[in-house]
Structure 1
Amino acid sequence: MNKTWVSVMIAALFEVSWVIGIKHATTWYEWAGTVIAIIVSFSLMIMAGRTLPVGTVYAVFVGLGTLGTVLSGILFFGEPFSWGKIFLTATLLVGVIGLKMVTPEETEEN
């Protein structure tokens, strides 16, 4: 796997962190962590967009972030589980994997 794709996945993890932070942060240090997660998340995504197609990077970033946010909500924050939610999230994940598979590893030289 290309290091640029790894950075997109890490960016998506930070996206999940800041989305959770926006909903649950109550102290200054939780808000500081949320802001740091936003900065890291978007910085990594922007850097990945320099070598990979921006549309694909954004779709993968948002898709993985959505998957992580939905699963975190169910597993850690007591949001209701439904098979429909899991099915639709899995469908999104299949689309994200498909985009990654059909996208060239790098479109510019480093």
Structure 2
Amino acid sequence: MNIEWVKVYIAAFFEVFWVIGLKHAEGFWPWTGTVIAIIISFYLMIMAGRKLPVGTVYAVFVGMGTAGTVIADILLFGEPLQMAKLLLIGILLAGVVGLKLITDDYPEKGVES
């Protein structure tokens, strides 16, 4: 597995935390954690985007973050579990996996970072 894709996955993982933090953080320490999650998330996404196609990186980042946030809402905050939601998350993740599969991990040499 390409280390750049690992960065995208970790960035999406931290995206879930900062999105939750934007809604639920109250007080200094929760907001500090939210800001740290934002910094880590965007730093890793930007670093991956230097080596991988940025459009695909962003789509995978947002898709995985969105799915993770919806799942976290269901598991942690009592959001109602609906089959339609699960179906749509599955479609979203299928699109993310499809983009990842058709993306060349090593773009043509004419493009310098």
Calculate the TM-score normalised by the size of structure 1: 0.96
Runs of 4+, deviation exceeding 6 Å: none
Partner of 1:2: 2
Partner of 1:34: 34
Q: Deviations over 1:2-25 (max 9, x none)?
A: 100000000000000000111111
Whole-angstrom distance in 2 between the partners of 1:106 and 1:69 = 30
Partner of 1:91: 91
Whole-angstrom distance in 2 between the partners of 1:75 and 1:90 = 17
Partner of 1:67: 67
Q: What is the deviation of 1:94? A: 0.2
Q: What is the deviation of 1:32? A: 0.3
Unaligned runs of 5+ in 2: none
Calculate the TM-score normalised by the size of structure 2: 0.94
Count of aligned residue pairs for this structure pair: 110
Whole-angstrom distance in 2 between the partners of 1:93 and 1:84 = 14
Whole-angstrom distance in 2 between the partners of 1:84 and 1:92 = 12
Kindly report the root-mean-square deviation, in angstroms, between the aligned alpha carbons of the 2 structures: 1.2
Partner of 1:106: 106
* Matched-pair identity in %: 63
